[in-house]
Amino acid sequence: DTAVSQTPKYLVTQMGNDKSIKCEQNLGHDTMYWYKQDSKKFLKIMFSYNNKELIINETVPNRFSPKSPDKAHLNLHINSLELGDSAVYFCASSPGLAGGASTDTQYFGPGTRLTVL
Amino acid sequence: AQKVTQAQTEISVVEKEDVTLDCVYETRDTTYYLFWYKQPPSGELVFLIRRNSFDEQNEISGRYSWNFQKSTSSFNFTITASQVVDSAVYFCALIDSSYKLIFGSGTRLLVRP
């Protein structure tokens, strides 16, 4: 009965590799998000999708590309990984309105700890 | 631009003490929403409360209570009779017409037995 799930939970990889993190929510929400939490615990939004459409795109290197195959899934692909990409990445979802941005409560997945060596 | 400040980096208390976590926010909007999330040592982010800017009533949920004061732009969180399981990092957050959930830097609470 997991609400927001992410895979994998841990990801260790070498600099320069390409990796993906998957996110799924079974809450029936229309809006999904990706956040990055750095080593000092600071949380910052990266992207927001509503019903497969990009709503928010923060100043994130274009090596990061979100993909939403349907409104229940939002995956994060990262190309040419760098040391500074090491962080915990959280997926979240909120009800929202179809076609628009949302101020509703966001429910977070368990996080994916990415370590780039 | 919107901003959330949690000036207390770390707080340490002994079990059964009451503790208040401070949160001060900035926004130019009159309609906005404030949140608290808990991040226990296991790492997940747990939603605690959402309040809208038009509802200044204090809220109590068990040992947790929240004090929202628009006059001082504060949304403080009090844990009464703290327990070891309350040890976590607590985040205050704000969302306004930007639709971006902005987090404070977090307060690490350590409750010692």
Tens digits of per-residue pLDDT, A84-114? 999 999 999 999 765 667 889 999 999 999 9
Cis peptide before A110 (omega within 30 of 0): no
For an interface test with A, the pick among B95, B107, B108, B109 (most A C-beta atoms closer than 10 Å) comes out as B95
- pLDDT per residue over A19-68, tens digit each? 999 999 999 999 999 999 999 999 999 999 888 888 888 878 999 999 99
Distances (CA, A) of B90 to A42, A65, B41, B42, B58: 12, 30, 11, 13, 19
* Chain B CB contacts of A109 below 8 Å: 44
Neighbouring C-alpha atoms within 13 Å toward the C-beta of B44: 15
